[in-house]
Amino acid sequence: MKNRLIILIVASIFTLSYILSPDKVFAGGIDYSSNDILFYNPEDSGCISSSYAAKSSSSSTDNQKTTALFLTSTNFSDNDNKPMNAVQMAAIMGNIQQESGFNPKAGEGKSYIGLVQWSSPGRWDNISDPKTDLDNQLDFIKKELDGAYKGKLDEFWSSSTPEDLEKATYAITRNYEVAVSSGKDKSSTTWTNNKDAIDNVQDWEKRISYANGFYDKYGNLAASGSGYRPGDGCGELISGGMTLEQAKDFMKEYKSLEPKDWPEGTPGTKYDINGTTCAGGSLANCVAFSQYFVNRYTNKKLNSPGNGEHVVGNLLSIGFEDGGHTPRVYSVFSETSSSNNSYGHTGVVLGINKDSDEIIIGEAGCGLGFDWIDARRYSLSQFSSDRYTYAYVNDMSGDIGKDDKSKEDKK
Q: Which of 293, 326, 241, 404 is nearest to 40 (CA)?
A: 293
Element holding 217 (H helix, E strand): helix 204-218
Determine the topology of domain 48-225 in CATH: Lysozyme (1.10.530)
Q: What is the pTM of this model?
A: 0.48
Task: Give pLDDT tens digits for 233-271.
Answer: 334 566 567 788 888 888 988 888 877 777 777 887 777
Cα 282–Cα 284–Cα 287 angle in degrees, nearest 5: 80
In this prediction, the residues of the chain whose per-residue pLDDT falls under 50 are 1-58, 223-235, 395-411
pLDDT given for residue 400 in this prediction: 25
Domain map (residue ranges) of the chain:
10-27+231-396, 48-225
Which class does domain 10-27+231-396 fall in? alpha beta
Element holding 361 (H helix, E strand): strand 358-363
> What is the Cα–Cα distance from 102 to 96, expressed in whole angstroms?
6
Task: Give pLDDT tens digits for 299-345.
Answer: 678 888 999 999 999 999 988 889 999 998 889 999 998 766 778 99
Question: Does residue 162 have a cis bond before it (omega within 30 degrees)?
Answer: no
Beta strand residue intervals within 175-277, DSSP E:
267-268, 273-274
